[in-house]
């Protein structure tokens, strides 16, 4: 409505050959990530906080594919995270003593870790398919309930399975994770989300979000697209879970409850349903804010209980935040736009991807 | 055989309670096409109101018929008011917005209530479950054989209360002026408004009615379970919602049948398989039903008007 | 128009055929024994008073509703039970009475959605093998998009080109990058047609395309519809309230009332049909005017 007209298609001015455009950002990221790893690896606290933040970003960006771009509403993302965490965790535990002889130990560990992550992600994706298929054939709000129920089923299954440590949880999972690995996946999920958004698949998802009946009439296989977006989203939730499992001392069913799911939902809604950068910003904000408040209360030397209460108070505040957002600013921070669309005009803009 | 009968009785007793909560979901869905996610949590608040009243009355008074009636009255009226407030200030402003907006709001309210009640600040009760005082002294009313089959008084009472409320509701919806207005709003609230039906009032009343029913059901549940906790709304509410979907959401008798079926299935799984799987049953069953009969047992998948 | 008719003639196989289609909602018979044949070059009208079942007929043809009885064939294939998108892939596209654009998408993207959906045209033979192939092709498509392969980039450019062309045909080039919801009403209607054309249909169903337009716009639309039929070699079925528009452009008209077909034939023939006048103007009109007008 108040947009400047879109600039011409970028390939006209791109210096990167077409054949390399697909892989180029990955190469750049690998280098930058090494630098980043070197910078932060000194402080254990920074490593931990950044890892938590990265996992949250992966979760928020992946959930945004379903809740934002496709306009469905899943509130069981933590369930898929749990699947990834437990499957990859158990795998790593069992492969702890295994080393690939032709590689140095550290490299071998990372290879095994990657395999464990992928298996966890694929298991989560398979669960996403199983859950999505029946509910995505129906009206969107069924998905909310079914995903919520799915989270519960996962919890019950874990609590009844010895291999998953029942209610006690799994400990002793090798701590393979590093900011490098976490942010490599952050980078991947963002890249995937953006490339989907800019492709015909993304347009089909947006079309479903805008008007399912019309999308179907225009030849879009709405059920198929919904299920696929759900599968992709679950895959990355599983990856996030796997990463999480490899840097926390213990995972138990309590880490993947409805509360966690809601936290991710709040991030996506706050960032703006449909905005990838919005999800990132909100994930960073909602990870740092409670931490910051805790440190602040501690530093101020107020009653120690206040700092402890931060976690408790967070939950009802998230709930109210959702209500207030919906009543006053349902589009969240960015709406469906991306960060570069809302930046002040003097900063050079990227071409608007969509909408 | 006796065991089977016992499970049947327990299942039905649990099912009737789910049914009362499920009715609230189905009624609100009927008029607004909104899954009122906060319904279970409104119920939970009602139970705490009843709990507070029971304590205020003291041991003597709460065991009298009048005392019990008072506890129910306070909880149901309080919940009706809460339902009214939520509808008025959270849902009504969003009525013409995309459905997702209202759904997110409902989830937010649910979250705020269930986790807000876990704080121990001010009057809020804190996270740990509390023992619900004995309001109806448990008695074995019917005993068959050598305690092979036992029917408790609260089972019979809650069954009777639930059936009475359902009959009253069926009468209300299909035999009264208000019920007709409700059905009209359910069909198309814009057209209903054009026909001179005060849609706002009908929707508000529907919310209040559903919330009051939920409070009643919640009390029956708390009496059975002898405990009350901030998360009970989430769990009972979800199961009731599942029941409503199984029956075909928006369909009043369907909700009741769905709830009874769910109560029985849960009871049999707990009785014959393992009790630790109880919480997974409802959702497993839900996914199964959605796969086989997407509209629920009685509902049809309504094609969207194009 | 006469040229198109003479070129294509009436001999070739029907693109769309409905045989004795009926649909019932509960006890309500929304459509009874509805039959219709569309061939390339046809420009047919479907008229009737409000609630006569016109839109229901559209919805049955496009697969939104399933007929309780009767068959629908598109391009020679029976489509009962197929989903709307599958029927669309067989060559049937439509617009909506109450405009249903993808409101937050730009005009260009609206059309590109439609163009794309046809890109991977799969034969909907519902065998397991075909389904597998379909699914595999789909996943390959996703990977191509994620890896930004040169082939994918070329495909995107091609889609853009196609969509731009359609916008131009519909006179919407100046709105290319505007969000659909910000377009004026008349342009929204035209964008819907552009979008429908994006799916490369053989048959185009237009649901009240002139609703809300002024006389001038309507006249332009009449010309446009004919031009589209000829340029894109379509069969067109138009639902319209405006009798003048229908009589002006359609060669053959079907009249529905209460879900039943009460008349069909050339415009002049239909206009003087007693039942049609009765349906539109009521019995009393006939009584006071003594028979057909």
In whole angstroms, give the CA distance from residue A314 to residue B285.
33
- Is residue A350 scored above 60 in pLDDT? no
Q: What is the CA radius of gyration of chain B?
A: 19
Q: Which range (A105-109, B1-5, B205-209, B299-303) has the least confidence?
A: B299-303
In whole angstroms, give the CA distance from residue A174 to residue A92.
7
Output A186 or B288, whichever has higher pLDDT.
A186
Where in chain C do CATH 3.40.50.300 domains reside?
Answer: 1-91+201-293
CATH fold for domain A43-342: ABC transporter involved in vitamin B12 uptake, BtuC (1.10.3470)
Task: Enumerate residues 6+ apart whose C-beta is below 8 A from B146.
Answer: none
Task: Give the tens place of pLDDT for each residue, C185-207.
Answer: 889 999 999 999 999 999 999 99
Taking CB atoms and an 8 Å limit, are B100 and A71 in contact across chains?
Answer: yes
Shortest Cα distance, chain C CAs vs residue B214, angstroms = 32
Mean pLDDT over residues C214-238, rounded?
A: 90
A312 is written with which tokens? 């408790």
| DSSP secondary structure letter of residue B1 | -
A303 is written with which tokens? 């009653």
Portion of chain C with pLDDT greater than 90, in percent: 42
- Is residue A2 scored above 60 in pLDDT? no
A162 is written with which tokens? 């010895």
pLDDT at A307: 65
Whether the CB-CB separation of A99 and A108 falls below 8 Å is answered with yes
- Chain B's closest residue to A68, CA to CA, is B100
Task: Say which of C106, C113, C150 has its CB closest to residue A18.
Answer: C150
- Average pLDDT, rounded, for chain A: 85
Query: Dihedral of CA C98/C99/C101/C104: which sign?
Result: negative
> With contacts defined as CB-CB under 8 Å, which chain A residues touch B119?
309, 312-313, 316
> With contacts defined as CB-CB under 8 Å, which chain A residues touch B103?
73, 141, 144
Whether the CB-CB separation of C284 and C277 falls below 8 Å is answered with no
Mean pLDDT over residues B32-61, rounded?
A: 89
* Owner of token pair 């901030």: B230
pLDDT at A190: 94
Output A46 or A204, whichever has higher pLDDT.
A204
Q: Which runs of consecutive H residues, i.e. helices, occur in C1-127?
A: 2-8, 54-61, 84-89, 107-119
| DSSP secondary structure letter of residue C127 | -
Taking CB atoms and an 8 Å limit, are C94 and A217 in contact across chains?
Answer: yes
Among candidates B145, B140, B170, B172, which has minimal Cα distance to B156?
A: B140
Whether the CB-CB separation of C53 and C256 falls below 8 Å is answered with yes
Neighbours of chain C (3+ CB pairs under 8 A): A, B
DSSP B56-68: HHHHHHHTSHHHH
Q: Which runs of consecutive H residues, i.e. helices, occur in chain B?
A: 2-32, 39-62, 65-86, 99-116, 153-175, 177-187, 189-194, 199-225, 232-247, 252-272, 278-292
Task: Enumerate residues 6+ apart whose C-beta is below 8 A from A76.
Answer: A131, A146, A147, A148, A149, A150, A151, A261
Beta-carbon contacts below 8 Å between B and C: 7
Whether the CB-CB separation of B142 and B131 falls below 8 Å is answered with no
> Given the DSSP bridges, would you call strands B149-152 and B140-144 parallel, antiparallel or unpaired?
antiparallel
- Is residue B57 scored above 60 in pLDDT? yes
- Chain A's closest residue to C107, CA to CA, is A355
- Is residue C263 scored above 50 in pLDDT? yes
Among candidates A178, A169, A173, A177, which has minimal Cα distance to A251?
A: A169
The model's pTM is: 0.88
In whole angstroms, give the CA distance from residue B53 to residue B219.
12
Whether the CB-CB separation of C244 and C214 falls below 8 Å is answered with no
Among candidates C55, C56, C63, C11, which has minimal Cα distance to C37?
A: C11
- Three-state SS at C104: coil
Among candidates A205, A329, A78, which has minimal Cα distance to B105?
A: A329
In whole angstroms, give the CA distance from residue B244 to residue B13.
17
Integer CA distances (angstroms), A350 to A197, A270, A296, A341, in order: 14, 23, 37, 8
Whether the CB-CB separation of B262 and B289 falls below 8 Å is answered with no
Task: Give the tens place of pLDDT for each residue, B105-143.
Answer: 998 999 899 989 988 776 778 778 888 887 777 778 777
Taking CB atoms and an 8 Å limit, are C104 and A206 in contact across chains?
Answer: yes
pLDDT at A6: 40
Q: Which range (A210-224, B89-103, B106-120, B275-289) has the least confidence?
A: B275-289
Task: Give the tens place of pLDDT for each residue, B255-277.
Answer: 888 999 999 998 888 888 777 78
User: Could you tell me the residue ranges of all domains in chain A?
Assistant: 43-342
Task: Enumerate residues 6+ apart whose C-beta is below 8 A from C76.
Answer: C13
Integer CA distances (angstroms), A116 to A96, A190, A251, A326, in order: 11, 21, 16, 39
In whole angstroms, give the CA distance from residue C193 to residue C85.
17
pLDDT at A303: 60
pLDDT at A345: 59
193-252 in chain B: CB under 8 A from chain A: 234, 238, 241-242, 245
How many helices and strands (H and E) does chain B possess? Answer: 11, 4
- Chain B's closest residue to C64, CA to CA, is B303
Among candidates A242, A262, A295, which has minimal Cα distance to A74?
A: A262
In whole angstroms, give the CA distance from residue A237 to residue A79.
9
Crossing angle for the helix pair A222-245 and A105-136, nearest 10 degrees?
Answer: 150
Shortest Cα distance, chain A CAs vs residue B279, angstroms = 7
pLDDT band for position A347 (cuts 50, 70, 90): low
C6 is written with which tokens? 């003479």
CATH fold for domain C1-91+201-293: Rossmann fold (3.40.50)
> Given the DSSP bridges, would you call strands C43-47 and C252-257 parallel, antiparallel or unpaired?
parallel
Whether the CB-CB separation of C8 and C232 falls below 8 Å is answered with no
> With contacts defined as CB-CB under 8 Å, which chain A residues touch C146?
22, 191-192, 195-196
Neighbours of chain A (3+ CB pairs under 8 A): B, C
Whether the CB-CB separation of A243 and A88 falls below 8 Å is answered with no
Q: Which runs of consecutive H residues, i.e. helices, occur in A198-303?
A: 200-210, 212-217, 222-245, 258-271, 276-300
Q: In chain A, what is the greatest distance between 2 CA atoms, to the nearest angstrom?
A: 63
Among candidates C279, C250, C269, C277, which has minimal Cα distance to C36?
A: C250
- Chain A's closest residue to C145, CA to CA, is A199
What stretch of H or E contains C263?
strand C260-265
In whole angstroms, give the CA distance from residue C276 to residue C230.
30
Residue A16 CB-half CA count within 13 A:
14
10 Å Cβ neighbour count for C19?
16
Burial of C209 (0-12, 13-18, 19+ CB in 10 A): buried
Task: Enumerate residues 6+ apart whose C-beta is below 8 A from B141.
Answer: B151, B152, B153, B156
Phi and psi torsions of A250, nearest 5°: -150, 140
- Average pLDDT, rounded, for chain B: 85
Task: Give the tens place of pLDDT for each residue, A178-208.
Answer: 998 999 999 999 999 999 998 889 999 999 9
What stretch of H or E contains A122?
helix A105-136
10 Å Cβ neighbour count for C20?
12
- Chain B's closest residue to A147, CA to CA, is B283
Shortest Cα distance, chain C CAs vs residue A228, angstroms = 9
């Amino acid at each position: 409505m108040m947009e400047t007209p879109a600039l011409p298609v970028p390939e006209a001015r791109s210096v990167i050959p077409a054949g390399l455009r697909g892989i180029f950002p990955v190469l750049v990221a690998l280098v930058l990530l090494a630098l980043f790893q070197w910078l932060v690896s000194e402080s254990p606290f920074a490593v931990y906080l950044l890892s938590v933040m990265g996992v949250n970003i992966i979760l928020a960006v992946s959930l945004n594919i379903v809740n934002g771009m496709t306009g469905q509403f899943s509130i069981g993302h933590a369930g898929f995270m749990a699947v990834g965490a437990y499957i990859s965790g158990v795998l790593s535990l069992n492969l702890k003593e295994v080393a690939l002889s032709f590689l140095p130990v550290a490299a071998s560990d990372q290879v095994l870790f990657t395999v464990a992550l992928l298996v966890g992600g694929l298991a989560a994706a398979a669960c996403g398919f199983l859950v999505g298929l029946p509910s995505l054939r129906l009206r969107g709000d069924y998905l909310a309930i079914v995903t919520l129920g799915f989270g519960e089923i996962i919890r019950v299954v874990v609590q009844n399975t010895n291999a998953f440590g029942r209610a006690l949880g799994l400990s002793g999972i090798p701590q393979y994770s590093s900011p490098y690995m976490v942010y490599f996946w952050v980078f991947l999920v963002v890249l995937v989300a953006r490339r989907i958004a800019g492709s015909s698949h993304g347009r089909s998802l947006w079309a479903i979000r805008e008007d399912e009946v019309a999308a179907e009439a225009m030849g879009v296989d709405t059920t198929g697209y919904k299920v696929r977006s759900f599968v992709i989203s679950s895959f990355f939730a599983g990856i996030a879970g796997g990463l999480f499992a490899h840097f926390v001392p213990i995972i138990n069913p309590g880490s993947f409850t409805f509360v966690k799911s809601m936290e991710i939902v709040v991030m996506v809604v706050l960032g703006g349903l449909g905005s990838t950068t919005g999800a990132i910003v909100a994930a960073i904000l909602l990870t740092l804010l409670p931490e910051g408040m805790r440190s602040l209360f501690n530093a101020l030397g107020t009653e120690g209980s206040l700092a402890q209460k931060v976690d408790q108070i967070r939950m009802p505040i998230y709930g109210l935040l959702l209500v207030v957002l919906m009543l006053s600013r349902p589009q969240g921070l960015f709406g469906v736009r991306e960060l570069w669309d809302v930046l002040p005009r003097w900063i050079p803009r990227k071409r608007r991807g969509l909408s | 055989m006796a065991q089977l009968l016992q499970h049947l009785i327990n299942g039905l007793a649990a099912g009737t309670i789910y049914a009362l909560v499920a009715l609230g979901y189905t009624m609100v869905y009927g008029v607004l096409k909104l899954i009122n996610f906060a319904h279970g949590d409104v119920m939970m608040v009602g139970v705490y109101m009843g709990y507070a009243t029971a304590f205020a009355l003291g041991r003597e008074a709460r065991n009298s018929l009048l005392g019990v009636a008072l506890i129910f009255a306070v909880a149901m009226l309080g919940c009706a008011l809460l339902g009214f407030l939520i509808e008025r200030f959270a849902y009504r402003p969003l009525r013409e917005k995309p459905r997702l907006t209202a759904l997110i709001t409902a989830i937010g309210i649910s979250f705020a209530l269930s986790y807000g009640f876990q704080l121990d600040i001010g009057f809020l009760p804190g996270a740990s479950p509390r023992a619900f005082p004995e309001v109806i002294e448990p008695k074995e009313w019917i005993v068959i054989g050598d305690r092979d089959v036992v029917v408790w008084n609260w089972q019979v009472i809650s069954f009777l209360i639930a059936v009475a409320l359902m009959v009253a509701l069926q009468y209300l919806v299909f035999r009264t002026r208000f019920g007709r207005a409700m059905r009209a709003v359910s069909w198309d609230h814009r057209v209903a408004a054009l026909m001179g039906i005060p849609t706002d009032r009908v929707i508000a009343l529907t919310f209040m009615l559903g919330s009051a029913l939920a409070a009643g059901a919640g009390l029956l549940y708390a009496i059975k379970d002898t405990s009350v906790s901030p998360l009970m709304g989430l769990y009972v509410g979800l199961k009731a919602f599942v029941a409503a979907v199984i029956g075909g959401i928006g369909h009043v008798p369907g909700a009741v049948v769905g709830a009874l079926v769910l109560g029985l299935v849960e009871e049999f799984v707990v009785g014959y398989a393992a009790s630790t799987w109880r919480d997974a049953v409802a959702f497993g069953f839900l996914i199964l039903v959605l796969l086989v009969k997407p509209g629920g047992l009685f509902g049809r998948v309504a094609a969207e008007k194009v | 128009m006469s040229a198109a008719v003479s070129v294509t003639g009436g001999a070739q196989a029907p693109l769309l055929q409905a045989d004795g289609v009926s649909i019932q909602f509960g006890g309500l018979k929304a459509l009874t024994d509805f039959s219709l044949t569309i061939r390339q070059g046809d420009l047919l009208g479907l008229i009737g008073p409000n609630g006569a079942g016109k839109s229901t007929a559209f919805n049955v043809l496009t697969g939104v509703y399933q007929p309780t009885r009767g068959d629908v064939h598109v391009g020679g294939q029976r489509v009962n039970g197929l989903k709307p998108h599958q029927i669309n892939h067989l060559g049937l596209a439509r617009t909506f009475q109450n405009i249903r654009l993808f409101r937050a998408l730009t005009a260009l993207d609206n059309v590109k959605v439609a163009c794309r959906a046809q890109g991977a045209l799969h034969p909907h033979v519902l065998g397991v093998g075909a389904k597998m192939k379909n699914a595999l092709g789909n996943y390959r498509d996703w990977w191509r998009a994620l890896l930004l392969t040169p082939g994918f980039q070329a495909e995107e450019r091609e889609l853009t080109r196609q969509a731009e062309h359609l916008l131009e045909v519909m006179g919407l080039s100046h709105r290319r990058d505007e969000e659909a919801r910000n377009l004026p009403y008349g342009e929204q209607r035209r964008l819907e047609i552009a979008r429908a054309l994006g799916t490369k249909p053989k048959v185009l169903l237009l649901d009240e395309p002139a609703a809300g337009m002024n006389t001038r716009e309507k006249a332009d639309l009449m010309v446009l519809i004919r031009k589209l039929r000829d340029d894109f070699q379509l069969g067109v079925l138009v639902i319209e309230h405006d009798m003048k528009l229908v009589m002006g452009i359609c060669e053959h008209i079907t009249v529905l009332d209460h879900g039943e077909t009460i008349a069909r034939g050339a415009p002049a023939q239909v206009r003087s049909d007693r039942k049609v006048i009765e349906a539109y103007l009521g019995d009393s009109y006939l009584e006071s005017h003594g028979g057909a007008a």
